[in-house]
Amino acid sequence: MAKVILVVDDDERMQNALKEVLSKKYVVISAYDGYQALEIIGKKKVDVVITDLKMPKMGGFDFFKSAKKLTNAPFIFITAYGTVPIAVEAMKEGAFDFILKPFSPELIEKVVAKAISYSSKASKVRENESIMTKRENISEKRLVWVSPRMAKVYEIVERVAPTKATVLITGESGTGKELVARLIHEKSGRKGRFIAINCAAIPEALLESELFGYERGAFTGATTSKEGKFELADGGTLLLDEIGDMPYSLQAKLLRVIQEGEVDRLGGKEPKKVDVRIIASTNKDLLKLVEDGKFREDLYYRLNVVPINIPPLRERKEDILPLAEYFLERFCALYKVETKVLDECARELLLNYDWPGNVRELENIMERAVILSGDNPVITSDDIFIESRMPREESLDLRIDELERILLSKVIKEVKDIASASKILGVSEDVLVEKLERYGLKL
């Protein structure tokens, strides 16, 4: 059966261009925005999604975050130079790759073929129930380190875990804040559950009911009572992830729960006592938020009893290879292949990369390497698939000039006059004439 490629772009010319290139091998369907694409994904299985980043109504990154809940298809982003940082952020969140405009047909064919290969092999694993059961066991993550800075983090975890002290874990996205929080819970001896809630992922209108629960009839649609996260974590630990994004209006109620040890359900008549260990985490500067009046000072000091800062991976390079080898072993077991090894070039590539997505990015890249390397027992630099099309700082101006020249060449081949080209490119006619002369181009 032919693989299905979903192209999401509000530019009909780009849709047609991609269809022309890809329809020789695949079934290509298209959507003009994220909402239409989500509707398609809800009704039809797609194998790869190619999406622009800048679109009306719903941008490509927001579409990606919503679509991840509906499909396992790999995402390839089409991006202009100015939106490269957003594309890199999407890669950190699990996107397969991004392609910088303008691009050649050969490049899009190559990237789609790799995405198809990745998708097919990953699907076989998901379809095997016994492996899925095994995945639950294998995916139990653990802290892996050799660096002194992470040894210090572990030392603090060991000391604070048996106490009831509130812990504030800080660090960049992907450094492993939730993993450290879970480790504290495991070592605490508490019999209750570990419950995590992302304060940034839930709309303000729903966050209060998610945290504190509600009684039947508390609001329209509340046909039954519901326990909040505090009650679910009674006797255990509650992780308030991305606490810096909690609405100011809810912070006073959270402070009261921490101080009094009791929670009020929405619509409830009497508070309920809860025994919950609070751990908060954030990638933001809470003190700065306090200074800006966006975070309560009293809540900050209640949360920051024991601070733990997790350094980014680029500041503890000693941990890169041990982590990579750990992930290799884990994913080789998951995908039922012999344990693979990294060759010297692959090791150098990993060590010389800055890891903006931290450990989460390294984990994603190692899983991808295991899949794409096939039966080869050695992981090479070609399998690592680190984005290498980012321009180096010293050649930035030259790179922009080259991209601009290619774009101008493409546009003037499609139009017959300065006015039309000017409108497409979003620059004045005078500026366009000047640039055409600069690059020796003519209509």
Indicate the length of the chain as a whole number.
443
243-276: per-residue pLDDT in tens? Answer: 999 999 999 999 999 999 999 999 988 999 999 9
The domains of the chain are located at 4-127, 133-141+314-384, 148-310, 393-439
* CATH domain 133-141+314-384 topology: Helicase, Ruva Protein; domain 3 (1.10.8)
pLDDT of residue 264: 93
Q: How many CB atoms lie within 10 A of CB 426?
A: 8
pLDDT of residue 324: 95
What does the block give as tokens for 117?
């290969």
**pTM across the whole model:** 0.62
Q: Do domains 133-141+314-384 and 148-310 have the same CATH topology?
A: no
Interior angle at CA 311, CA 307 and CA 314, nearest 5: 170
* 3-class SS letters over the chain: CCCEEEEECCCHHHHHHHHHHHCCCCEEEEECCHHHHHHHHHHCCCCEEEEECCCCCCCHHHHHHHHCCCCCCCEEEEECHHHHHHHHHHHHCCCCEEEECCCCHHHHHHHHHHHHHHHHHHHHHHHCHHHHHHHHHHCCCCCCCCCHHHHHHHHHHHHHCCCCCCEEEECCCCCCHHHHHHHHHHHHCCCCCEEEEECCCCCHHHHHHHHHCECCCCCCCCCCCECCHHHHCCCCEEEEECHHHCCHHHHHHHHHHHHHCEECCECCCCCEECCCEEEEEECCCHHHHHHCCCCCHHHHHHHCCEEEECCCHHHCHHHHHHHHHHHHHHHHHHCCCCCCEECHHHHHHHHHCCCCCHHHHHHHHHHHHHHHCCCCCEECHHHHCCCCCCCCHHHHHHHHHHHHHHHHHHHHHHCCCHHHHHHHHCCCHHHHHHHHHHHCCCC
CA distance 217 to 317: 54
224-252: per-residue pLDDT in tens? Answer: 899 999 999 999 999 999 999 999 999 99
pLDDT of residue 402: 58
pLDDT of residue 255: 96
Average pLDDT, 10 consecutive residues per value, the chain (443 residues): 90 91 93 90 91 88 86 88 74 82 87 84 53 42 86 95 97 94 96 94 86 88 88 97 94 95 92 96 96 96 97 94 93 88 90 90 90 86 66 42 66 75 75 76 72
Q: How far is CA 93 from CA 36, 62, 173, in A?
A: 22, 12, 10
Query: CATH for 4-127, among 2.60.40.10, 3.30.565.10, 3.40.50.300, 3.40.50.2300?
Result: 3.40.50.2300
Identify the residue whose tokens are 């009650």: 231
Query: CATH for 148-310, among 1.20.120.1200, 3.40.50.300, 3.40.50.12280, 1.10.150.130?
Result: 3.40.50.300
